[in-house]
Structure 1
Amino acid sequence: MGLRVEGLAAGYGATRVLRDFSLSVEAGEILCLLGRNGAGKTTALKAIMGLVKPSAGRVMVDGAEIATLPAEQAPLHGLGYVPQGRRLFAELSVAENLEIGLMAGDKAGRGGSAAERRAKALDLFPQLRERLQQRAGTLSGGEQQMLAIARALCLEPTVLLLDEPTEGLMPSMIARIREVTTALKDRGVAVLLVEQRVEAVLEIADRVVFVENGRSVDEVAASDLRLHPEKLQRYVGVGR
């Protein structure tokens, strides 16, 4: 169970970005994509979600093929997505943003009632309980990221895609996002994470897949990454 991607090709119009892109993430595992800017990491998440339609390849969530489905059907198969930039409804309240995730979960027939799923999401981000009636656009950057993740969790996903979840956040918020990501792993969620903070990757990821020119070109256990600083220099352009 989890996510499996095989031979994915995708792009924008005539511009191909992904070429023979493959990976797998098991339930209860955190896999991180690392690569330089423009390598294709965000496009990979969008293609898995169906927001960019693949021209070739397979995407399977818990054994179900979803690559040919419209993007709005991906959550029905337990696929949650937190995009870079959060993409919240700024004029809606925190509660109303969460309701969008709850409705998607209802359509998918996910486990538990809407109230139970909302409670589980808010248990991970108790700070949001105090702001349920506040407009999302007035939250701090860290609180907005919390809300974006909580909204996705209201679906009760089995696979969660996270695109740069700590970007622009203060250290305390970064630590909280890491804690929640680890808690989701402990709940058996398969997490695919795009993250540029190498130290964060070393602390929470199980495996790392390096992306270069739209291809998944190398894989290493996160615990072994310290032993291979040359891979960070080659694929990301940073040392440790």
Structure 2
Amino acid sequence: MLRVEEIEAGYGGARVLRGLSLSVAAGELLCVMGRNGAGKSTALKAIMGLVRPSAGRILLDGVPIEALPAHRIPRLGIAYVPQGRRLFAELTVAENIEIGLMTRGRGTETRERVLSLFPRLRDRLAQVSGTLSGGEQQMLAIARALCLEPKVLLLDEPTEGLQPSMITLIRETIMALKSTGVATVLVEQRVEAVLSIADRVSFVVNGATAETLDAARLTPDAPQFRQYVGV
């Protein structure tokens, strides 16, 4: 589905990604873990065309996309929920959802399916999104992304700063998406959350993939978490 092959990228003269590779198949959840500054968020931005790789390839269903402009990537079916949500804060919940639907020309059926995943948003359609709670804003960010009916979903620390009930809801939603064939790349730092939902875990160090393992082979006290994620 999605393959990233030895990409290099950065900001100005600062190189962040140094030959990073990863892949995720339909219906699979790949978790990307690493210390702050390892390049996890930059990798997602590179996939979305927001950071241009200087080397390497990014392929969707075998077709290179690394040279495409950023506005083309979502239309191919790659949805992105960035860290910090990045909602249109002055627009209502309904308007944010409508923007998601417009990206790939989806309509009422998609809207209803997305709202069925987040019933709380249905009760707040007329509310300005900037006035939602943190958990509700994260719901809306994910809902807007799902309005693309994506093949691939990129999630950058979606549970950061949320209360346990919201974390559980988002985890259940991600698991439900797996069953529909969506390929999910999740950046996450919470070990227990990762092991409960991931199929594979890629550990990123200094802008490169150090190791990728089946989640079933890992336990919370596995040495990889201390080596690649611990402070």
| TM-score band w.r.t. shorter chain | over 0.9
Q: Is 1:135–2:128 an aligned residue pair?
A: yes
Q: Distance in 2 between matches of 1:62 and 1:95?
A: 32
Match of 1:10 in 2: 9
Q: Is 1:218–2:211 an aligned residue pair?
A: yes
Q: Distance in 2 between matches of 1:3 and 1:119?
A: 27
Q: Distance in 2 between matches of 1:20 and 1:8?
A: 5
Q: Is 1:161–2:154 an aligned residue pair?
A: yes
What displacement does 1:105 show? 1.6
Q: How many residues align?
A: 231
Amino acid at match of 2:196: E
Q: Distance in 2 between matches of 1:85 and 1:231?
A: 27
Contiguous gaps of at least 5 residues in structure 2: none
Q: Distance in 2 between matches of 1:52 and 1:120?
A: 32
Instruction: Give matches, 1:82-161, under 5 Å.
Output: 82-106=81-105, 113-161=106-154
Structure having the larger proportion of residues in helix: 1
Q: Is 1:236–2:229 an aligned residue pair?
A: yes
| SS of aligned partner of 1:226 | coil
What displacement does 1:62 show? 2.2
> CA-to-partner distance for each residue in 1:71-94, whole Å, 9 max, x for gaps?
110011110000000000111000
Contiguous gaps of at least 5 residues in structure 1: 107-112
Backbone CA RMSD of aligned residues: 1.1
What displacement does 1:227 show? 8.0
Q: Distance in 2 between matches of 1:228 and 1:173?
A: 25
* Structure 1 segments of 4+ aligned residues over 6 angstroms from their partners: none
Q: Distance in 2 between matches of 1:218 and 1:179?
A: 27
Q: Structure 2 length as normaliser, TM-score?
A: 0.98
Match of 1:178 in 2: 171
Q: Distance in 1 between matches of 2:18 and 2:76?
A: 25
Q: Kindly, what percent of the aligned residue pairs are identical?
A: 66
> CA-to-partner distance for each residue in 1:105-154, whole Å, 9 max, x for gaps?
21xxxxxx511111111111111000001000010000000000000000
CA contact (8 A) 2:28 2:184 kept: yes
Match of 1:43 in 2: 42
CA contact (8 A) 1:64 1:77 kept: no
